[in-house]
C-alpha cells in the first residue's frame, strides 16, 4: 500500500487501475499491516474491503483483539495477522520471552486461533525464520500462512515448501515482491517478471507433487 499511497491522489488512482488488471479468480491482498482502535480501525476495514474490495489484508495485532474486530467481522475476507515477521527487528518484540518461557509471537498465534471463529484468520510468518517455522508449524493448526521474505530478504523457497510438505500442509502462500517485479528495469520487465513467477511456481509444484 505504501508504494501507492506515497504518490498521493495519483497513486490511489493507479491502485484502482492496478486492481482492474487482476483477474477475478486471483486473491488480492491489501498489504498495509493495519491495526488501530475504535472508529479508526472500522474505517481502515471499510477502506480495504468495501472501497478497494480487497479479498484479504495484512493486520497488526499489537493493540489487541478490538483493533482487529472490524476486519474479522467481514466473514468472507481473509485476514493475515502478523506473528513472526521476516525483518531483523522482529527480535525486538516478537521474540520477547514470556513468564512461561514461550515467545510473544507464539502467544499471538494462540490468540489468533481463538479469534478465528469465522474461519477468516491467517498468519504472517517470515520465510527467513526457518528454524522457528520448523518448530512452530504444528502450532499453526489449520490456519493459512502468508510467508514474506523469499528472494531479496534471503528466504529459501525450497526450504519453506519442504517444511510444509513434510508436515502434510498446503495451506500457505509465498510472497515474493522485489525478486519478481525488479527482475528487470528495462522494457521487458513484465516478461521477465512472468518468467520469474513461473519458475517459482514450478519449484513449488515440483516439491509438493513429489
C-alpha span between 102 and 117 (Å, rounded): 24
Here the cell at position 75 is 466473514
33 noted as active-site residue = yes
**86 near 155, Cβ under 8 Å?**
yes
- Tell me which residue of 29, 14, 71 sits closest to 177, measured CA to CA: 29
DSSP single-letter state for residue 150: B
Strand order in the sheet with 29-34: 29-34, 56-59, 78-84, 121-125, 145-148, 172-175
DSSP annotation of 117 reads: T
Q: Determine the 3-state secondary structure of 166 from DSSP.
A: helix
What is the 8-class DSSP label of residue 67? G
- What is the 8-class DSSP label of residue 90? G
Please report where in the chains the cell 502434510 appears, as a residue: 168
From the candidates 6, 10, 33, 43, give the one annotated as an active-site residue: 33
Active site residues: 33
Amino acid at each position: 500500500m505504501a508504494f501507492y499511497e506515497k504518490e498521493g491522489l495519483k497513486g490511489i488512482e493507479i491502485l484502482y487501475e492496478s486492481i482492474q488488471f487482476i483477474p477475478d479468480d486471483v486473491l488480492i491482498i491489501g498489504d498495509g499491516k493495519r491495526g488501530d482502535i475504535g472508529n479508526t480501525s472500522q474505517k481502515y476495514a471499510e477502506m480495504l474491503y468495501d472501497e478497494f474490495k480487497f479479498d484479504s489484508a495484512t493486520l497488526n495485532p499489537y493493540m489487541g483483539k478490538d483493533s482487529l474486530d472490524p476486519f474479522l467481522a467481514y466473514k468472507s475476507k481473509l485476514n493475515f495477522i502478523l506473528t513472526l515477521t521476516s525483518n531483523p527487528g522482529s527480535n525486538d518484540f516478537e521474540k520477547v520471552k514470556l513468564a512461561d518461557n514461550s515467545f510473544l509471537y507464539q502467544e499471538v498465534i494462540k490468540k489468533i486461533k481463538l479469534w478465528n471463529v469465522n474461519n477468516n484468520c491467517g498468519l504472517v510468518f517470515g520465510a527467513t525464520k526457518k528454524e522457528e517455522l520448523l518448530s512452530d508449524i504444528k502450532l499453526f493448526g489449520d490456519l493459512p500462512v502468508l510467508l514474506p521474505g523469499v528472494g531479496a530478504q534471503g528466504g529459501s523457497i525450497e526450504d519453506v515448501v519442504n517444511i510444509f510438505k513434510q508436515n502434510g500442509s498446503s495451506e500457505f502462500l509465498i510472497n515474493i515482491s522485489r525478486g519478481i517485479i525488479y527482475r528487470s528495469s528495462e522494457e521487458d520487465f513484465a516478461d521477465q517478471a512472468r518468467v520469474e513467477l513461473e519458475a517459482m511456481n514450478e519449484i513449488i509444484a515440483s516439491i509438493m507433487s513429489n
